[in-house]
Amino acid sequence: MAVGDKCELPATAAYWLCDEPQPGLVLVEFVDALGRPHWLIDKCAIFGADLLPTSTYPRPTGIRCAIEEINGEIATISPWWTISRRGIPFAFDVRLDVLIPVTTDWH
């Protein structure tokens, strides 16, 4: 894998939060390269698995990302749907070996 590649970061959909807005919101968690937990909340359709209010949680899912930088065994990734705020990129450092290559278009 290389800088600019699309990938998926394995994660866990922990909770269905609410049905509004359509589609509903889900809380997804993952661990970064240093073992620190992170949580993302967004519409269920953003994540890589079929997530429904009637699904059993927690359940596996994925966070679609792009590789921004690689430093040895660590990749800096940014979720594909995010934008930077105040010039600060929304990015995470994760282990390169956990990323799954993605070859399909996300649009």
Digit-coded pLDDT (tens) for 53-74:
999 999 999 999 999 999 999 9
- Would you place residue 105 in the very low, low, confident or very high pLDDT band (cuts 50, 70, 90)? low
Q: Whole-model pTM? A: 0.86
* 3-state SS record for the chain: CCCCCEEEEEEEEEEEEECCCCCCEEEEEEECCCCCEEEEEEEHHHCCCCCCCCCCCCEEEEEEEEEEEEECCEEEEEECCCCCECCECCCEEEEHHHCEECCCCCC
